Amino acid sequence: MEAVAILLNRAHAAWKNGHITVVLLMDIEAAFPSVAKGRLVNLMKVSQMDGDLEQWTESFPSETTVEIIIEGNAME
């Protein structure tokens, strides 16, 4: 939920400044079913990726679903 809140805050800030915001959501577990989460997080640290993304990946539980609604259209 924290990741969603951060995402929404950044999107609203961008919209207020007249910027277009695009979000790519990816199901890491489905895309990479054999990836060891600890190794992925370590590679993210070594690559100096965004700290928020790294924390989100580390705390992301398996079997979590998210539904997003855009202009009345619900999507998983």
DSSP letter for each residue of the chain: -HHHHHHHHHHHHHHHTT---------HHHHSTT--HHHHHHHHHHTT--HHHHHHHHHPPTT----EEETTEEE-
Of 41 and 1, the structure prediction assigns the larger pLDDT to 41
- Per DSSP bridges, beta strands 73-75 and 68-70 are antiparallel
Q: Using CA atoms, how far apart are residues 63 and 30, in angstroms rounded to an integer?
A: 10
Residue boundaries of the structural domains of the chain: 2-75
* 14 pLDDT above the threshold of 80: yes
Q: pTM of the entire structure?
A: 0.39
Tens digit of pLDDT for each residue in 18-57? 988 777 776 666 766 667 778 888 888 898 888 888 887 7
